Amino acid sequence: MKNAKLAMILGLSVVLVAGAVFSAALAGTYAQAQSEQSDRLNVHDRVTAAIADGRRGGAVGVLSSIQTDPNGNEWIIYGPWWLVLIPAADEAQSPEMIFKSGFGMVLKDGNSKHRHQISDFELTKWSADETSITFEGTATITQRDGPVENVPVTIKILNDNVIEISIDTSVISHFGESPIYGMVLRSRL
């Protein structure tokens, strides 16, 4: 019985020490990554260089936003999104972009849960500055009565951390007047 307790205490001690060592190593790696991130090119320079070099870029994340519809109802929007930026075959052409999101909506009281999808994004214009990149185009967005095509959509990635999706309310007002927000979990833009 004493040997079993001693073995358990030793085992727990090893786990605690290993956890402390792992945490210290992880903290060092995080600090190094933060330092390297500050030395990186700004968003505009990175995207421009990637397109000039013919490299694809991309990002993934989750939407997590509160939207107020035209009737004043507050909705929680949640779900994944991803995008891929594909360089053009030559410099005279614009890059292409794939953007997709399948997200849920539910009233803040838990009622009326349903889903939407944004797909078939057609990039018409993009721009970038030191902290953000903006993609303008049209997309197909599913609604209760079926998909609505050619909806003007603007997608912004802010400081590699936040996504902002603005949907033209003159075409679809279901999501309210404010943009849909979310997090960028991983970006190679």
Of residues 189 and 2, the one with the higher pLDDT is: 189
Q: Does residue 172 contact residue 182 with C-beta atoms inside 8 Å?
A: no
Confidence band of 30 (pLDDT split at 50, 70, 90): very low
| pLDDT higher than 70, residue 14 | no
State the Cα–Cα distance between residues 35 and 82, nearest whole angstrom: 27
Tokens coding 40? 């990186």
Q: How many CB atoms lie within 10 A of CB 125?
A: 10
Q: Please identify which residue in the block is written with the tokens 């053009």.
A: 88
Average pLDDT over residues 93-98: 85
Q: Does residue 164 contact residue 179 with C-beta atoms inside 8 Å?
A: yes
Least confident of 82-86, 89-93, 107-111, 160-164: 89-93
| pLDDT higher than 50, residue 141 | yes
* pTM, full prediction: 0.74
